[in-house]
């Protein structure tokens, strides 16, 4: 009886003790939540972060340019960013480092109407091309034109802000640069037209990672990051094996995204997620840095290990 009583008291004490709290981690997204973030959202909705002992807060930015800067300033743990942005910000002296890849292929493309006047890149001569952001998009377009013997002087650039698809559909421009192949093509189709994409990596551009994870360069030994990447990897494999279940969990968490555009973007983006998010391709980053240097987007090429690290 005494033993039974002691066990009962011990059980009551254990029940009364608070459970060990998961470690908090803030992830600053590059944009509002969308299917490009599927591995991170799936890790959240399917409990993979929790299994790694993490309490992850996903934060949408008020200004898409701010997440890496906030992380550099110590006002966030991880930022989702872009490879070209990382190279530029390292060149500016921001204390950042790559720790992983979210989307491992370019999503950027040059888009035209399928039944329009542009059937080959050579047809761009004398035509109007809409863009949103100068700098990298200019360099990318210039490289694509160069691959077919044209230059930037052969086209007319028009800033359409972020109205890429509307500008193309209305005939304001003949092509747009910077449209995402997993969104804009479907958006055009849903408007009753058919689009056609020319892929930069098939026309002179070095392959690059579209979306990456960056942290403060002095905090790469934070043990939470390895657990974050492990959860994201598990989520990516789950997505690959169970895309419909993951989609249902996604729209349950974000019901405002339950529409045809996002559902098709979900499917179109699946093959592009990094299956080994923590794996670094140093050659890819070196080649892309050299491209940016040649196009005067950065002042010098620095060793990859100074701004990227594999966390094990």
Summarised one tens digit per residue, pLDDT across range 227-274 is 999 999 999 999 999 999 999 999 999 999 999 999 999 999 999 999
96-99-103 Cα angle (round to 5): 110
Q: How confident is the model at residue 162 (pLDDT cuts 50, 70, 90)?
A: confident
Which parts of the chain are beta strand (E)?
23-28, 54-59, 78-81, 96-103, 108-113, 128-131, 156-159, 175-180, 195-198, 211-216
pLDDT given for residue 19 in this prediction:
53
Summarised one tens digit per residue, pLDDT across range 195-204 is 999 999 999 9
Q: How confident is the model at residue 14 (pLDDT cuts 50, 70, 90)?
A: very low
pLDDT given for residue 4 in this prediction:
41
Judge contact between 57 and 29, C-beta under 8 A.
no
**CA gap 273, 238 in Å, rounded:** 12
**Phi and psi (nearest 5°) for 282?**
-60, -40
Residues 6 or more apart whose Cβ sits within 8 Å of residue 297: 84, 87, 88, 135, 136, 139
Task: State whether residue 35 is helix, strand or coil.
Answer: helix
Res. 133: pLDDT tops 90: no
Task: State whether residue 225 is helix, strand or coil.
Answer: helix
């Amino acid at each position: 009886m005494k033993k039974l009583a002691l066990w009962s008291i011990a059980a009551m004490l254990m029940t009364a003790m608070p459970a060990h709290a998961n470690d908090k981690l803030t992830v600053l997204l590059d944009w509002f939540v969308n299917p490009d973030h599927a591995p991170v959202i799936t890790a959240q909705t399917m409990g993979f972060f929790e299994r790694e002992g993490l309490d992850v807060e996903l934060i949408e930015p008020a200004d898409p340019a701010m997440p890496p800067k906030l992380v550099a300033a110590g006002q966030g743990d991880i930022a989702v960013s872009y490879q070209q942005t990382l190279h530029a910000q390292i060149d500016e002296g921001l204390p950042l480092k790559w720790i992983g890849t979210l989307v491992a292929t370019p999503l950027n493309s040059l888009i035209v109407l399928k039944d329009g006047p542009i059937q080959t890149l050579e047809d761009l001569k004398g035509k109007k091309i809409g863009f949103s952001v100068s700098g990298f998009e200019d360099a990318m377009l210039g490289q694509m034109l160069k691959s077919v013997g044209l230059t930037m002087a052969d086209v007319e650039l028009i800033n359409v802000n972020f109205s890429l698809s509307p500008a193309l559909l209305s005939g304001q421009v003949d092509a747009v640069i910077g449209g995402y192949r997993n969104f804009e093509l479907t958006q055009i189709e849903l408007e009753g037209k058919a689009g056609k994409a020319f892929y930069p990596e098939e026309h002179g551009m070095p392959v690059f990672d579209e979306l990456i994870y960056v942290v403060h360069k002095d905090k790469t030994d934070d043990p939470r990051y390895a657990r974050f990447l492990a959860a994201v990897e598990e989520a990516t494999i789950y997505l690959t094996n169970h895309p419909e279940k993951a989609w249902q969990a996604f729209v349950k968490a974000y019901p405002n995204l339950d529409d045809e555009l996002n559902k098709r973007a979900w499917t179109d983006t699946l093959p592009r997620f990094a299956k080994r998010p923590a794996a670094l391709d140093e050659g890819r980053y070196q080649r892309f840095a050299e491209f940016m240097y040649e196009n005067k987007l950065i002042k010098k090429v620095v060793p990859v290990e100074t701004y990227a690290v594999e966390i094990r």
